[in-house]
Chains A and B, each alone.
Chain A
Amino acid sequence: MSRKINVSVDRRGQVKTDFVGFPGEDCFDEADNLLRALRHFGVQVVSADTVRKSASQTEAERAGLADIERRRNPVKSSGD
């Protein structure tokens, strides 16, 4: 299943990151990696405010991603 990071940058340079499709606590590890990479490219974090998604939100996103992948890569039956 694909993993997505959607980042919105407002006119003051404030950044909102949305991690989609990460199992377990993987999104927090990837968030650390992203912050390190941002620092390398000159963007330093002054403050951060994190909200965990609910289980139902996460499940809905995963179902949505799975559906998109099924449409992109339809499974062919052996009779084709």
Chain B
Amino acid sequence: MSHITTLKTKIKLETALLAGHEVEEDPGWELLDQAVKTAAAELGGELTTGIRDYYGRRLRCDWGMVTPDSPRGVGVKISRDSGQVTFVYDAYGCDERAIQRICDTIVQSYTSLAVAAALRSLNYAVEFEEESHPVDGRKILVRGVL
């Protein structure tokens, strides 16, 4: 018997916290760093350490990215208490689709990297492939073979 499962997921870095360590030591921290860099490369974005609001005030984040479509930027913050991942931006007067595209690209990239890391931890050999769909957009396929 084999099966197909569809999972709705969320990102939360709590492995290190539950073991009594700092969230920066979480196995997901490095993956998130890689995911933000991958997303920036895909979207032609520039990495920053913060964003700006409508009034030009700067807000520090763990990771930030500005793109030509989103010049104030989108930030990623991790709660030091819970590991909760939050996207930070000021959407007032901005192209909200551009902001959503940044958030989606980071989430998709992170989830794919985490799936690959999870499969490797179970001793699977991993391959990546991309598939574009006219309605659903890009899908990343991660294949694990044991």
Contacts and interface: CB of A to CB of B under 8 A. Distances in A.
Contacts of A44: 9-12
Nearest to A23: B1
Interface in A7-43: 7-25, 27-28, 30-31, 33-34, 37-43
Nearest to A24: B1
Contact of B111 (A2, A37, A43): A43
A6 interface: yes
A80 interface: no
Contact of B9 (A5, A20, A43): A43
Interface residues of A, number: 50
Contacts of B131: 8
- Sorting the interface of chain B by its residue count into under 10, 10 to 19, 20 to 34 or 35 or more gives 35 or more
Overall SS of chain A's interface: mixed
Given A37-B121, A44-B11, A44-B12, A11 B5 contact: no
A50 B5 contact: yes
14 contacts: A4-B143, A9-B141, A9-B142, A10-B137, A11-B108, A13-B110, A15-B7, A19-B3, A34-B118, A34-B122, A42-B85, A43-B10, A43-B118, A51-B5
Interface of B: 1-15, 26-28, 31-32, 83, 85, 104-105, 107-108, 110-112, 114-115, 117-119, 121-122, 124, 131, 136-146
